[in-house]
Amino acid sequence: MELVQYFKGIIDEDRCAVVICNLSHEIIYMNPAASVRYEKQGGQALVGQSLLDCHNPQSVEMIKKVVLWFGESADHNRIYTFYNEKENKDVYMVALREADGTLIGYYEKHEYRNKETAEKYNF
């Protein structure tokens, strides 16, 4: 079995929404939880669309800043972006890299748990 299948299996079984994008901000994969979560916005039909089209101008600006920050250092790999009190979840952006550290994309990760104590966008 290809290694890719293992990683896909991990993402697909995650109960939290995971939306994976390339550096052009194109949604290249959504796990089943993300498809359900964003069903009203189009669900799986969002794959191939720009993530930026799904956000307000202020969020678009922050997404672009985070991706630039990811590109500054191979050590910049995860940033806390939002806490949803109603759902008691934290939202992160996480860098995706080649084995040599080259940035190739990012994903949005939702985690349901106690409130994050880090400051938002703490570069």
Predicted TM-score (pTM) of this structure: 0.85
Predicted pLDDT of residue 114: 60
Burial class of residue 50, CB neighbours in 10 A (0-12, 13-18, 19+):
middle
Predicted pLDDT of residue 115: 64
Predicted pLDDT of residue 57: 96
Residues of the chain with pLDDT under 70: 1, 114-116
For residue 49, the domain's CATH number is 3.30.450.20
Q: Which helix (H) or strand (E) holds 61?
A: helix 57-72
Predicted pLDDT of residue 93: 97
Does a structural domain hold residue 77? yes
Does a structural domain hold residue 2? no
Range of the domain at 85: 16-112
